Homo-oligomer: A and B are copies of this chain.
């Protein structure tokens, strides 16, 4: 895969944004391999993602930022630029269930995920052997249900020490402290085992069973302080019937969970997701 820069922008909509940015890129002979735009008539906001061959530009990422900054200022842009050749540092968090973790680890192991998985943090020992086989450090941090603060303090210290760009909750099953959510705002991805907003909270498959729905789902979203209320990245559903027990639903749902989490994670790692207020623009 050729090395690219990915420029993502969100700003108030007006004429001339695309022209300005594409002129800038053309001026320096930037070769755009992919370009996506979205103008939201409701909010009056504009969103853009450009992927440019790194080798086509006469400067590096730092210089790009310097040269682009005046344009960004002119249009009041929130923006970021990333280098596909630099793998984001990711920490995975898990509990006892292995399906999402195993799926991500396998994708990473087979070279499908452009990320560096720097550690797995879990609150149980169950998955240590699987993780260590992948030669990834495994940190087991107990979260005492009577006093969660010390455990989470240790988790936070670990994460900070690792210099992490992204936290992936691969069925971690614990509610992160509000302060941590705040500090890593837009950088924590969760998989919820229901089609949100249906069946938020605990035991969604039990809720789904009781309601007698004919489809169950999974939702990949950014974590905010409001549990299960963060911006949604991706969702999917699978069909069930009256003959499926809760155990069947749990088993069938795993396939939806791991697929949706993998898709959401990939979209994030490729800088295809822009958060705006409590929603996402996804340039898939």
Copies in the complex: 4
The minimal Cβ–Cβ distance linking A219 to chain B, given in whole angstroms, is: 8
Q: Assess whether A76 is interfacial by the CB under 8 Å rule.
A: no
Q: Is the CB of B232 within 8 A of A213?
A: yes
The minimal Cβ–Cβ distance linking A66 to chain B, given in whole angstroms, is: 21
Q: Assess whether A65 is interfacial by the CB under 8 Å rule.
A: no
What is the total number of residues of chain A having a CB less than 8 Å from a CB of chain B? 65
Instruction: Give residues in A with beta carbon < 8 Å to B.
Output: 15-16, 18-20, 22-23, 25-26, 29-42, 56, 98-99, 102-103, 106, 109-110, 112, 133, 195-199, 211-215, 217, 231-237, 241-243, 245, 251, 255, 259, 262, 278-282, 284
Most buried by B among A19, A31, A36, A217: A19
A109 proximity list for chain B (CB < 8 A): 98
Q: Is the CB of A35 within 8 A of B32?
A: no
Q: Nearest residue in B to A230 (C-beta to C-beta)? A: B212
Q: Is the interface of A mostly helix, strand, loop or mixed?
A: mixed
Complex Cα distance, B26 from A20, in Å, reads 9
Complex Cα distance, B216 from A232, in Å, reads 13
If the complex has contacts A98-B110, A211-B232, A278-B212, are A34 and B39 also in contact, measured as CB distance less than 8 A?
yes
Q: Is the CB of A18 within 8 A of B15?
A: no
Q: Nearest residue in B to A101 (C-beta to C-beta)? A: B106
| Among B38, B242, B255, contact of A243 (Cβ-Cβ < 8 Å) | B38
Q: Nearest residue in B to A24 (C-beta to C-beta)? A: B19
Q: Is the CB of B99 within 8 A of A106?
A: yes
If the complex has contacts A106-B102, A198-B197, A214-B232, are A32 and B56 also in contact, measured as CB distance less than 8 A?
no
10 nearest A-B residue pairs (beta carbon): A212-B279, A19-B26, A19-B22, A198-B198, A18-B22, A35-B37, A242-B281, A214-B235, A16-B26, A102-B106
A280 proximity list for chain B (CB < 8 A): 212, 242
The minimal Cβ–Cβ distance linking A280 to chain B, given in whole angstroms, is: 6
